[in-house]
Amino acid sequence: MTERARAILTEAIGRPLRKVIASIHFFEGRCDDEPVELWLSFESLALFRLSGASDGWRLEVDETTPEPVDMEESGEIILGDMSNKTMFDSMVGRELKGVWIVESPAEEIIGVRFDFGLPTRPVVINWGDELRIAADYPSEVWEEGISEAAMQPVTSR
């Protein structure tokens, strides 16, 4: 994970979540269950994207803007406001209290856990070539030697 990606995540600490946008693969009249990419919008902060790296093992964080994609005979990537359709629904409007990153044994960032001061702390993880949004990491994560580390908040804005 780049220094900019780390800065994006730590800058979100202390800010309320405003919106969650997802890009979803749509093909033959149905949408995939998991998003291709996820954007989070926090108060007074640029929209940022969580996406899986092409190697299926890293989570990337950047400020790429959401755009639909026509994949011709393979369908399309559509965008949708997921603020009320994922486990983030109860977090919208709440201040982000903390962020944890999950690293592989090779020190690649593969996931992020968010704490909004509620019992559920949503996890976004790139696991097996797809993003997963869940209440916890898949059980196999710990078998792979994965570790979790808290991000430190930005002290001055």
Element (H, E) at 150: strand 147-150
Q: What is the mean pLDDT of residues 73-88?
A: 86
At residue 80 the predicted structure's pLDDT band, cuts being 50, 70 and 90, is: confident
Question: Does residue 147 carry a pLDDT above 90?
Answer: no
Write the CB contacts of 21 (distance below 8 Å, at least 6 apart in sequence).
38, 39, 41, 47, 66, 79, 80, 81, 82
Question: Does residue 155 carry a pLDDT above 70?
Answer: no
Give the best-scoring range by mean pLDDT among 37-46, 51-60, 104-113, 133-142.
37-46
pLDDT tens-digit readout, 91-125: 999 999 999 998 888 878 889 999 999 999 999 98
pLDDT tens-digit readout, 118-133: 999 999 988 766 788 8
- CB burial of residue 104 (10 Å; 0-12, 13-18, 19+): middle
At residue 28 the predicted structure's pLDDT band, cuts being 50, 70 and 90, is: confident
pLDDT at 91: 95
Contact yes or no for 49/63 (Cβ under 8 A): yes
What's the whole-model pTM score? 0.86
pLDDT at 115: 95
With pLDDT > 70 as the criterion, what percentage of the chain qualifies? Answer: 94
Q: What are the structural domain ranges in the chain?
A: 3-150
